[in-house]
Structure formats: C-alpha cells, structure tokens
Amino acid sequence: MDSSYPRVTITDIANKANVSITTVSRVLNGSPAVSKKTRKKVEKIIEEMGYIPNALARGLVNNSSNTIGLIVSDITNSFFADVIQGIENVLSSYGISVFLCNTGYSREKEDMYILQMLEKRADGLIIFSTYANHEDTVKKAKDIIPIVTVQSSFDGVDCINTTDEKGAYDAVNYLIKCGHKHIAFLTYDYDNTTILDRKKGYIKALEDNGIPVDENLIIASKFKPNCGYHMTQELLEKAPYITAIFAYNDQLALGVYLYLQKKGLRIPEDISVIGYDNTELATLLNPSLTTVGQPRKEMGISAAELLVKRIREQKSIIPQTILLPTTLIVRDSVRKL
Amino acid sequence: MDSSYPRVTITDIANKANVSITTVSRVLNGSPAVSKKTRKKVEKIIEEMGYIPNALARGLVNNSSNTIGLIVSDITNSFFADVIQGIENVLSSYGISVFLCNTGYSREKEDMYILQMLEKRADGLIIFSTYANHEDTVKKAKDIIPIVTVQSSFDGVDCINTTDEKGAYDAVNYLIKCGHKHIAFLTYDYDNTTILDRKKGYIKALEDNGIPVDENLIIASKFKPNCGYHMTQELLEKAPYITAIFAYNDQLALGVYLYLQKKGLRIPEDISVIGYDNTELATLLNPSLTTVGQPRKEMGISAAELLVKRIREQKSIIPQTILLPTTLIVRDSVRKL
DNA sequence: GTGAAAGCGCTAACAC
DNA sequence: GTGTTAGCGCTTTCAC
C-alpha cells in the first residue's frame, strides 16, 4: 500500500526558513501578501529541499482534485484516439489531469469506473459511450459533478456531437446525384443515437429524391471482426442489382472492398462505395474511399472546453448540445452513372 | 476551484448510526473486528445516505493514491493504443486508476507531466518515450516511485521491450533466403534504441550472409506525413536495382506501396516489401504485407504487472529488462527469386 | 467489539 | 506581512 513517499512537507520548509507554514503556503500559491525577501528565502529552501506539493492534501481542503475522468469504450479505436488527443491538449493547458477509463464496451466496467471517479473526487467527467442510455450510474454522477458526453446523449447532460444525419444524407444524396438508385446501407444493429441518425439521413435522402426505401438494402449486424465482408456477401445475395453501397463507417467499407475484390467486382466501375469517419484507411484503400469526415480533434477540444466551463461555473445550468459539422470527402470510390 | 461536492462523510454515517467514525472506517475496510449487527446497521446507512468514500483523504493518510501515471508520446499511434489497452486491463483489475499523460513527443510536456504525477502522488509510472534519454526528470522521479519503461531504456529502470534486433534480422534473413541480395532499409533518423536495434538486425543479417552493406540502400528520415513515399522515391533514384525493401514499420511500408503503385511497379513481382509492427494495415493492403509482429497487448500487461509488483515490494531491487518475442508474419508481399 | 484522539499535508479565516 | 489555529475526511494507535 504505502509506496514510500518520504517527502518534504511545507512544515519542513517552514522550519528551515523560520517562517510559519502559512507563509510557505502563500509563497506556493503566489499570494502577494509576502515580502519579497521572505519569498526569496522560502523559494530557495523549497528548491533546495526538493519539495513537491501534495495534491492529495490540497485536493482535500480545496474540495477539488484538478482531475477529470475520461470514460471511453475503446481506446484502440482511432476515432476515439483523435478525440482524446483534442481533450488532452486542452486539459493539459489548464493543468487538469485526466484519468483514463477504458470500458471495453462493458457496462459493468463503465459503472465501476464512474464510481471510482467519484471516489477520486474527479471534478468532472467526459463520457463516450458507444452503447446508449446506461442511465442509472450516469444519473447519479451528474448530480454530483459536471458531465460532458461525446457522441451519446443522456437527458440533462451536455453533449458534443456531429451532424450525423446530415452527414449520411449528404453521402447518399451525392450517390443519387451521381445517378445511383439502388443504394444499400450497411450498418450496426444497436440502439444508439449515432447509428440511428445515420440511418435517418440515409432514408431521408432517398425519400427526398423520390426513391422508395427497400428494406432488403439495409443490412444491420452486431460488431464482429470482418463483418463488413459478410454483410456485403449477404447483401449481394439478396440484392445483386445494387450499384452503390453506403457503409456506416470506413471499417465496414473496408469489408466491402475485400468482398468485392474477392468476387472480382471492381470499385467504382461495378459498385460505388462510400464510407464514414474519414479514417486513415480511406486514403489508403485503392481506390481511395469517398467518405464523410468529422472534425475529431475539435470534438475533443469542444468537449474539454465545455467541461472546464461547467466545472468553473456554478451548477444547474441548462445543458447544451453542440453539433459539429460533417463534410463529404469525395475521392475515387464513386462512379457517375 | 471548488467543484461543490457536498458529500456525506464517515462522520455523518457515524452520527446517524450512533457509532464512532472508527467503526464506520472498519466497516468500510472490511475489518473483522466489528460485530455482525453493527456492520449491518452501518452498511445500511452507508447505502441509504449514498456515501462515497473520499479517495483524496484516504490517499493522504495511507500515503498512496492507488493511481499510476502513464506517459505516452502519442496516443493516436495504434501501437501504443494496443499496449495501453493491456496496461489498462491489468490495472483496472487491481483497482488502480491511470492518469493519461500524452506528451505529443514534447520533452517539456513530458517533464511537466512527470512532475504533475509526483504531485498527485502517483504510486508509479509507466513511460513510453519514443525519444530517448531525457534523463533528468526521470532520474528524479525514479528515486521517488517505481517506474517501468516500455520500448525505451533508462539506466536503473525496469523495462519491457521486444527483441527488435532479432525481429529485423529475421525479416531480412527471410528476404535473403528468398534469394534477395539488394535489400533496402527505410528507417527514421532518430537516436532511439528501437530504431538502432532494427538497424543492427538489418546489418547483421546481411553480414551473416556475406552480403556487403551498401549505405545507399539505407534511407533515414525524420517523421513526416507520407515520408515512406518520398523515401522510396529517393531510394529508387539512387538504387533502381534493388529487389526488396525492408521498412522500419508498416506505415512506411504503406508509403512504399503507394509510390510503387504510382510508378506501375508490382509487389511482389517487381519489388518485395516487408514491414514491421503487424498493424491492421498489414492485412488491409493489397497484397497483404509480410511484417514483423510484437505481442503488443502482452507488453502492456507485463509492464503493468511489473509496476504493480514494484509498488508492492520495497524499493531498491535490481531493475530488470523483459524482452518479449517478435514474430515474422509471412503474407503476400515477398517473392521468391 | 468499540471509541477517543492524533495526525496525514495542506488552505483559509482571523488575529496581530 | 506574518503567524495561530481549525479543519478538510480519513486511518490508526491505544485504551477500555
């Protein structure tokens, strides 16, 4: 337990400097109410003795740990990694430390972590949860500390999101403008706002263009390795007449590529493909993948900025949702008919 | 500052339960010296009042925060992400929280974070530093708390690494066994053990097979977007006769692919390619990339396990280096001559 | 089996 | 300008 921190305290400094601990504390906190001379003397001793302030003690009296918890479902996901980078950037500039809580999509672990953060007296929480609405624990936490959500929505909680419906709409609309009529949608089978929004966008684009929605063209499955591949297989068995595929994300689009290549179908000559997320993958694929991009780092920045604001403000303000724009990034995977 | 935690304390529990705070503390810590009856009563009230222990106060008296700092140069790098996942898995099972410290390859930020971790009374540190030997701050920290390094080496600090020299050796040796003689090495221009080790392996494989080392075939550059592409260009201008390229990592190998494809050169018919790291990319490329893999998650697990061990042991034990094995993963990017 | 009291390292009234 | 003191929430002797 005791990891042996045989450390110098302000008392030691005070003794050696022949001042009171208050004075040392004042020096440490840059209070103006210290004479230049005393300050110099104390600073010198602090330096000499290698004093390191104890944030635990500080946090205890200040009732603030200068720390926030970051709850993420999968740190391995490059989308998250970019957002996290944005968050980290902002927070480190405020001197706020970040607890990394990787839930691995496990609800129990998410609950465990939220509780842990509460115990560690985190000043706030940023949550990305791919699965939706585990209300209970979050509900408890949000009455205690500010929470900002990214790409998920909880009642009464601030949220940073992207215009996902519009992103999907733009993609599908672009396909339609290119002359495609039989457009499939490969997606995941979860009850999550992001997933729902993209589907809405897909359907709306079709409807707005007078194209009937064909349920056969919507393939939804659970997360699985390589599932884009299998979905494409299923799709082509059901509906070989499609000319374009809109994939929920670039990862799925990759599976589409792999299956089509295997089958000797060419992209975009035989089938056009659009992905979502503008991951590194999109530029790497051959042909390069047309996709929908989000400002990932900015999402992180916004989330962090908003959280800091909430921590500094008093509580009970109206929660807001900040929607960041998506952009259709046209590359080489779509053919004009 | 004060992020308003108007929280229930053990004193509140004690009052309500008509016991002393000592008893509440005992219940909380599962001490056997509490009667079953009292325990039940106290637990009930703890539950009712929604008591959440204050880890700050606990840490202050226990002189241990149950927290470690994770210093990483780039969280966006998928290699790191996998290792971090391993770390997180182990540590969360011990109930240890992890501070995420992303340095963005900045030395100042690394120093800042190490200091911050010392202030927060982290019980230990895991450091991945791509750049080498920032001794001063680390040196200071290692006298205070245990440190485990991943893929970097500091004097007197435990280290988890992979057999990089052997990994590179195996790759190049494989190329030679496939009949290649003019083998280029694309690498980075930094003074880092990993980079050095892979280069050593490249050279040793050539020498062991009686092939003279041709400095023209070694291209080294700083990190840059797309630098694999430019390195290949430079290489082919200097030495168009090469038949194989060994890239420092898969990322660089991707650049090789892109340039060769652009030039109409086929892989592996015209030029064979081997990467390093076995990233997702390797399977995605066409042809799939032969590469050298490391047990990334296991690296994280080992690092975390070792750190926990060091934290629980007393100090001043002999630092060890754990070398995890690399494996050549043969795919389709190498041709037998 | 239970409690009183000291103290972890620090900040913040409040006095001088 | 500086110091005294109380107290943040908890664990831990030491009594009883």
Q: Model confidence over A272-291: pLDDT tens digits?
A: 999 999 988 888 787 889 99
Q: What is the pLDDT of residue A315?
A: 62
Is there a contact between B277 and B77 (Cβ–Cβ < 8 Å)? Answer: no
- Integer Cα distance of B13 and B1 in angstroms: 27
pLDDT at A224 over 80: no
- Integer Cα distance of B145 and B92 in angstroms: 19
Confidence of residue A2 (pLDDT cuts 50, 70, 90): very low
The fraction of chain B above a pLDDT of 90, given in percent, is 76
Residue closest to A162 by CA, chosen among A328, A337, A334, A330: A328
Residue with tokens 């929607």: A323
Residue B63 with chain A: CB contacts under 8 Å? 2-5
Supply the pTM of this predicted model. Answer: 0.89
DSSP string for A232-247: HHHHHHH-TT--EEEE
In this complex, which of B98, B119, B315 lies closest to A55 when CB atoms are compared?
Answer: B119
* Chain A touched by B4 (CB under 8 Å): yes
- Give nucleotides in strand C with any atom < 7 A to a protein C-beta: 1-5, 7-13
- Integer Cα distance of B222 and A113 in angstroms: 39
Are B75 and A70 an interchain contact pair (Cβ–Cβ within 8 Å)? no
In this complex, which of B84, B97, B121 lies closest to A5 when CB atoms are compared?
Answer: B121
The three-class DSSP label of residue A289 is coil
- Integer Cα distance of A267 and A283 in angstroms: 15
Q: For residue B1, which nucleotide's C1' is closest to its Cα?
A: C11
- Integer Cα distance of B296 and B252 in angstroms: 19
- Statement: the CB of A66 is under 7 Å from strand C: no
- Integer Cα distance of B329 and A56 in angstroms: 48
pLDDT, one tens digit per residue, over A8-18 is: 999 999 999 99
- Integer Cα distance of B316 and B313 in angstroms: 9
Residue closest to A322 by CA, chosen among A149, A202, A166, A79: A149
Please provide the average confidence, as pLDDT, over all residues in chain A. Answer: 92
What number is the average pLDDT over the span A120-126? Answer: 97
CA distance B207 to chain A (A): 35
Q: What is the pLDDT of residue A87?
A: 97
DSSP string for B29-81: TT-S-S-HHHHHHHHHHHHHHT----HHHHHHHHT--SEEEEEES-TTSHHHH
Q: What is the pLDDT of residue A211?
A: 98
B108, burial (CB in 10 Å: exposed 0-12, middle 13-18, buried 19+): exposed
pLDDT at B271 over 50: yes
Are A98 and B95 an interchain contact pair (Cβ–Cβ within 8 Å)? no
Q: What is the pLDDT of residue B5?
A: 56
What number is the average pLDDT over the span B161-168? Answer: 97
Distance A23 CA to D4 C1' (A): 12
pLDDT at B284 over 80: no
Distance A163 CA to D4 C1' (A): 59
**Radius of gyration, CA atoms only, chain A:** 26
* Chain A touched by B289 (CB under 8 Å): no
Residue of B65, B120, B280 best to disrupt the A interface, most CBs of A under 10 A: B120
What number is the average pLDDT over the span B181-205? Answer: 94
pLDDT at B6 over 80: no
pLDDT at B295 over 50: yes
The three-class DSSP label of residue A24 is helix
Interface subset of B 114-133, CB within 8 angstroms of A: 115-116, 118-121, 123-124
Q: What is the pLDDT of residue B134?
A: 61
Q: What is the pLDDT of residue B1?
A: 42
pLDDT, one tens digit per residue, over A67-99 is: 999 999 889 888 899 999 999 999 999 999 999
Q: What is the pLDDT of residue B114?
A: 95
Confidence of residue A6 (pLDDT cuts 50, 70, 90): low
Are B1 and A70 an interchain contact pair (Cβ–Cβ within 8 Å)? no
What is the CB neighbour count within 10 angstroms for residue A88? 25
The three-class DSSP label of residue B200 is helix
Please provide the average confidence, as pLDDT, over all residues in chain B. Answer: 92
Is there a contact between A71 and A127 (Cβ–Cβ < 8 Å)? Answer: yes
Asked if the bond preceding B325 is cis, omega within 30° of 0, the reply is no
- Integer Cα distance of B195 and B164 in angstroms: 9
Confidence of residue B77 (pLDDT cuts 50, 70, 90): confident
- Statement: the CB of A21 is under 7 Å from strand C: yes
* Chain A touched by B317 (CB under 8 Å): no
pLDDT, one tens digit per residue, over B100-146 is: 999 988 888 999 999 999 999 999 999 987 554 566 888 889 999 99
The fraction of chain A above a pLDDT of 90, given in percent, is 76
Are B100 and A55 an interchain contact pair (Cβ–Cβ within 8 Å)? no
Residue closest to B88 by CA, chosen among B106, B67, B108: B67
Interface subset of B 57-116, CB within 8 angstroms of A: 57, 59-60, 62-65, 67, 70, 75-76, 78, 81-82, 84-85, 88-89, 92, 95, 97-102, 104, 109, 112-113, 115-116
What is the CB neighbour count within 10 angstroms for residue B48? 11
Residue with tokens 């050298």: B292
**Ramachandran assignment for A183, one of left (phi > 0), alpha (psi -120 to 50 degrees), beta (any other):** beta
How far, CA to CA in Å, does A259 sit from each of A178, A254, A300, A330, B234? 23, 9, 34, 22, 35
Q: Is the dihedral of CA B198, B203, B209, B214 positive or negative?
A: positive
What number is the average pLDDT over the span B158-166? Answer: 96
Q: What is the pLDDT of residue A1?
A: 42
- Integer Cα distance of A240 and A259 in angstroms: 13
